[in-house]
């Protein structure tokens, strides 16, 4: 009886506090409670945005309607869709984030490889300057660039964003160069040396041996690059002035665009701009990224873990 | 083969290696000169002048350091904004660091639904853009629900001395926003946690180390580099963020009649200087603090 009793105590104890192979019940409960609480904090703005965007004008005015709209109302989305000029802005956003990202990723790999695999005078200085390009605020360089683009007639053209990317000076290029630098440093050199003895040229070695072995770094860089280019508005709003309009640019002048389409004096009170329409616009803005994120989510995180972005 | 010809061949090998290296980074060097260095120098030049842009070109009138003295001595908003920015950054950085470290430690554990939580915690990385954040803050969705409005909290804030009130108020109002800036940092911590050899933890556990001791003696020292990287990343993203008050003010002044490009350039450099000082302070502080822990 005594033996049985202590056995049960042990089992309860191990259930509550965990043993060598698993966490206890108390720990697990606290862990999930915390994760759910923090997860809620993260999701709250999104949830708020989505619920508000589904509210009809009457629901907005009704103080009783907080989290559950009384009807399925999509009118806000119809308006926001028109105001954002959605199809055009979406295509522009996709082009203006994918094209520079592809170029930026490839060029960053090239530079990172050169820094990791070759010894030459000034290597450390270049690494330091790359870090500096990350730190220097954009407003310290953007005006002369803008004026030069204006003189060259490139203002408003996608080239204004693509050219810096080609030269390794794209949006946050420094991070990607350093990621590739780290990646190539940590990859073994044996294969490349063997190929060199066989007489392969440096560029060939880079393209056929180094690039395939650094695939996770390419995935991470490309995805982050797309996301950051998509969300970037400071540079795009200056360089694309009067030209192509991306989704975030359309969103930042949403009120003005709305009042052009639906003049406040001309439409009835329910069609005036309200927070529900604004939230619909915001949601439409992040929807493509959300879709991309949930499709690529696994890749996103696992590649980061494999590239060792953290640095040594 | 003589020694001389051997050294000659070695030297030429070295030179060849260097030349090939330069070929790989040539694009960057050209780009740096064209897209970063030249505009940076030009902006500095603008900051010493009154700049008028006409259809024909850019007219410069030299005025020494007048733009700088004006920003610091005459402009009442700018100085105040700079101080506010410095304080807010110094408040936000430790929060982001501690928070992202805790989340990364959680996500490094084994538990069910890990993938779902991971997906949620990285969401902000994907959707944080200036206009989205602005819309959300305008609607009050980025504020911790109701905390800052609660009467007890308002009372508490009123009791605080002025120097403390602003940072605390900022903390309460922008808490969610600060957390939203932690996505990449979580990833960086997680990546460096997963590089740690699991054998070390097992050995420590066998030697009878408690989870608490293992954290301070093993986990934290392995996160030193990641912490410094994260601190730098946090300061830079917060400072470059297009909704940052100072950034918006400078941008506004660029096109303002009273301001102009020269004045905005001077403010940009002052802002950059404050940011560099902040980076230096945090860097030195962290390397000192963590250097001690590691020993």
Facing B36 at nearest CB: one of A136, A143, A286: A136
Do A57 and A91 lie in a common domain? no
Listed residue (A177, A208, A179, A180) closest to A192, CA to CA: A208
What parts of chain B have a pLDDT lower than 70? 1-3, 140-154, 157, 160-163, 292-295
Work out the percent of chain A whose per-residue pLDDT is above 70. 89
Chain A segment 175-204 residues within 8 A of B by beta carbon are 177, 202
Q: Is the residue at B93 inside a domain? A: yes
Distance CA(A115)–CA(A178), nearest Å, equals 9
Judge residue B273's burial from the number of C-beta atoms within 10 Å of its C-beta, 0-12 exposed, 13-18 middle, 19 or more buried.
exposed
Structure-token pair, residue A96: 């203006």
Beta-carbon contacts of residue B193 (< 8 Å; ≥ 6 apart): B104, B105, B108, B219, B222, B223
Q: Is residue B13 domain-shared with residue B122, that is, in the same domain?
A: no
Integer CA distances (angstroms), B235 to A177, A255, B18, B157, B278, in order: 20, 31, 35, 26, 8
Cβ atoms of B223 and B101 within 8 Å: the answer is: yes
Residues A187 and A227 both lie in one domain: yes
Token digits of residue B277: 């000082």
* C-alpha–C-alpha distance, residues B215 and B200, integer Å: 12
Do residues A277 and A76 lie in contact, with contact meaning Cβ atoms separated by under 8 Å?
Answer: yes
What is the span of the domain harbouring residue B38?
Answer: 3-47
Nearest partner of B229 among B286, B164, B180, B147, judged by Cα: B286
Say if A263 falls within a structural domain: yes
Reported as a pLDDT band with limits 50, 70 and 90, residue A312 is: very low
- Among B85, B95, B126, pick the best mutation site for testing chain A contact (most A Cβ within 10 A): B126
Q: For residue B274, give the CATH number of its domain.
A: 1.10.3720.10
Residues A56 and A107 both lie in one domain: no
How many separate domains does chain B show?
2
The answer to whether residue B215 is domain-embedded is yes
Q: Which of A304, A290, A279 is nearest to A77 (CA)?
A: A279
| Burial (CB count <10 Å: 0-12, 13-18, 19+), residue A181 | buried
Q: Is residue B9 part of a domain?
A: yes
Q: How many domains does chain A have?
A: 2
Q: Is A135 in contact with B53 (Cβ distance < 8 A)?
A: no
Is A232 found in the same domain as A96?
Answer: yes
**A198 and A266 part of one domain:** yes
A148–chain B nearest CA distance, Å: 9
How many angstroms separate the CA atoms of A96 and A73, rounded?
32
Task: Note whether B222 and B264 are same-domain residues.
Answer: yes
Measure CB to CB from residue B129 to each of A142, A147, A233 and give the nearest one: A233
Percent of chain A at pLDDT exceeding 90: 23
Structure tokens at B244: 């940052």
- Interface touch B272/A137, C-beta < 8 Å: yes
Within this chain, do residues A20 and A38 fall inside the same structural domain, yes or no? yes
Tell me the average pLDDT across A252-269. Answer: 78
Within an 8 Å CB–CB cutoff, is residue A37 touching chain B? no
Mean pLDDT of chain B: 83
Per-residue confidence band for A2, with pLDDT thresholds at 50, 70 and 90? low
CB distance B17–A118 less than 8 Å? yes
pLDDT tens-digit readout, A176-223? 999 999 889 988 888 888 888 888 888 899 999 999 988 888 988 998
3 state DSSP class of A303: helix
DSSP state of A310: T
C-alpha to C-alpha distance for B125 and B279, rounded to whole angstroms? 22
User: In 3-state terms, chain B is what percent helix, strand and coil (to 5)?
Assistant: 80, 5, 20
For the segment B117-161, what is each residue's pLDDT rounded down to a tens digit? Answer: 888 888 888 877 777 777 777 776 666 555 555 666 667 767 766
Average pLDDT over residues A165-183: 91
Set of chain B residues whose Cβ sits within 8 Å of the Cβ of A111: 24-25, 27-28
- Which among B38, B58, B279 is the nearest to A135, CB-wise? B279
Query: Last residue of some domain: A78, A98, A126?
Result: A78
**Is A312 within a domain?**
no
Between helices B114-127 and A275-307, what is the axis angle to 10°? 120
Q: Compute the nearest-CA separation of B48 from chain A (Å).
A: 14
Note whether A165 and A196 are same-domain residues: yes
Question: Which pLDDT score is estimated for A309?
Answer: 54
Residues A11, A100, single domain; the answer is no
Residue contact A293–B126, C-beta within 8 A: yes
Domain with A46, as residue range(s), is: 2-78
Question: Which of residues A29, A62, A78 is at a domain's end?
Answer: A78
Residue of B nearest to A253 (CA): B131
Closest CA to A220 of A172, A288, A260, A254: A172
Question: Does B160 fall in a domain?
Answer: no
pLDDT at B46 (0 to 100): 92
Cross-chain residue pair A118–B121, CB shorter than 8 Å:
no
Same-domain pairing of A215 and A265: yes
- Per-residue pLDDT at A17: 65
Reduced to 3 states (helix: H, G, I; strand: E, B; else coil), residue A55 is coil
- CB of A215 within 8 Å of any CB in chain B? no
Q: Interface pTM (ipTM) of the complex? A: 0.86
Residue written as token pair 């009807």: A71
- Asked if the model's pLDDT at residue A310 lies above 50, the reply is no
Same domain, B81 and B43: no
In whole angstroms, what is the distance from residue B102 CA to residue B192 CA? Answer: 14
- Residue B74 touches partner A, C-beta closer than 8 Å: no
- Domain final position from A78, A112, A129: A78
Q: Specify if B57 maps to a domain.
A: no
Do A176 and A71 share a structural domain? no
Residue B190 within a domain? yes
A 64-83 → B contacts, CB under 8 A:
none
Mutate to test the interface with A, among B46, B104, B123 (most CBs of A within 10 A): B123
Residue A34 touches partner B, C-beta closer than 8 Å? yes
| Contact assignment for A129 to B32 by CB distance below 8 Å | yes
CB atoms B139 and A290 under 8 Å: no
Instruction: Tell me the mean pLDDT in the region A7-29.
Output: 71
**Is residue A92 a part of any domain in this protein?**
yes
Interface probe, candidates A196, A228, A282, A305, chain B, greatest B C-beta count within 10 A:
A282
* B200 and B107 within one domain: yes
CB contact under 8 A, A202 and B20: yes
A155-159 CB contacts, 8 Å cutoff, 24+ apart: A155/A239, A155/A240, A155/A241, A155/A242, A155/A243, A156/A239, A156/A240, A156/A241, A156/A242, A156/A243, A156/A244, A157/A243, A157/A244, A158/A95, A158/A96, A158/A99, A158/A240, A158/A243, A158/A244
Task: Please work out, in degrees rounded to the nearest 5, the angle formed at the alpha carbon of residue A150 by the alpha carbons of B128 and A97.
Answer: 30
Q: Kindly report the nearest CA distance between residue B253 and chain A, in angstroms.
A: 12
């Amino acid at each position: 009886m005594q033996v049985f009793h202590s056995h049960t105590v042990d089992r309860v104890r191990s259930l509550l506090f965990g043993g060598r192979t698993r966490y206890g019940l108390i720990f697990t409960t606290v862990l999930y409670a915390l994760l759910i609480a923090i997860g809620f904090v993260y999701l709250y703005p999104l949830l708020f945005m989505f619920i508000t965007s589904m509210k009809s004008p009457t629901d907005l005015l009704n103080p009783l309607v907080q989290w559950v709209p009384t009807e399925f109302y999509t009118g806000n989305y119809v308006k926001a869709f028109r105001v954002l000029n959605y199809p055009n802005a979406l295509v522009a956003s996709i082009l203006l984030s994918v094209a520079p990202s592809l170029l930026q990723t490839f060029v960053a790999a090239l530079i990172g490889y050169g820094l990791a695999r070759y010894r030459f005078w000034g290597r450390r200085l270049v690494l330091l300057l790359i870090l500096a390009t990350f730190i220097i605020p954009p407003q310290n360089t953007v005006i002369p660039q803008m004026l030069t683009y204006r003189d060259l007639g490139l203002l408003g053209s996608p080239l204004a964003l693509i050219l810096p990317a080609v030269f390794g000076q794209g949006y946050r290029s420094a991070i990607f160069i350093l990621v590739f630098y780290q990646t190539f440093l940590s990859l073994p050199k044996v294969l490349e040396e063997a190929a060199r003895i066989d007489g392969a040229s440096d560029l060939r070695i880079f393209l056929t041996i180094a690039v395939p072995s650094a695939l996770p770094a390419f995935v991470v860089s490309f995805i982050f690059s797309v996301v950051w280019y998509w969300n970037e508005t400071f540079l795009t709003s200056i360089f694309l002035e009067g030209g192509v309009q991306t989704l975030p640019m359309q969103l930042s002048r949403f009120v003005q665009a709305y009042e052009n389409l639906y003049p406040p004096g001309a439409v009835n009170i329910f069609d005036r701009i309200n927070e529900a329409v604004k939230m619909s616009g915001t949601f439409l803005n992040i929807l493509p990224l959300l879709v991309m994120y949930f499709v690529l989510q696994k890749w996103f995180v696992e590649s980061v873990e494999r590239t060792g972005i953290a640095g040594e | 083969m003589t020694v001389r010809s051997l050294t000659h061949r070695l030297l030429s090998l070295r030179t060849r290696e260097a030349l090939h290296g330069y070929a790989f980074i040539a694009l960057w060097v050209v780009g740096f000169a064209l897209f970063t260095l030249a505009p940076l120098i030009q902006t500095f030049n603008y900051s010493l002048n009154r700049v008028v842009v006409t259809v024909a070109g850019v007219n410069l009138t030299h005025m020494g350091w007048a733009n700088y003295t004006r920003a610091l001595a005459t402009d009442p908003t700018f100085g105040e904004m700079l101080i506010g920015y410095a304080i807010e950054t110094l408040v936000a950085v430790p929060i982001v660091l501690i928070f992202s470290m805790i989340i990364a430690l959680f996500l490094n554990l084994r538990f069910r639904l890990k993938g779902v939580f991971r997906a949620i915690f990285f969401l902000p990385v994907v959707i944080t853009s200036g206009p989205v954040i602005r819309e959300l803050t305008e609607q009050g969705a980025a504020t911790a629900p109701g905390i800052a409005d609660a009467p007890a909290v308002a009372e508490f804030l009123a009791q605080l001395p002025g120097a403390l009130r602003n940072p605390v108020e900022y903390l309460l109002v922008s808490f969610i926003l600060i957390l939203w800036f932690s996505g990449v940092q979580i990833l960086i911590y997680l990546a460096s946690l997963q590089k740690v050899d699991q054998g070390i933890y097992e050995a420590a556990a066998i030697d009878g180390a408690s989870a608490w001791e293992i954290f301070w003696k093993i986990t934290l020292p392995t996160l030193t580099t990641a912490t410094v990287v994260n601190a730098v990343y946090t300061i830079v993203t917060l400072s470059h963020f297009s909704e940052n008050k100072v950034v918006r003010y400078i941008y506004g002044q660029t096109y303002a009649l009273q301001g102009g490009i020269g004045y905005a350039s001077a403010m940009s450099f002052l802002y950059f200087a404050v940011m560099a000082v902040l980076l230096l302070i945090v860097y030195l502080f962290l390397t000192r603090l963590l250097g001690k822990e590691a020993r």
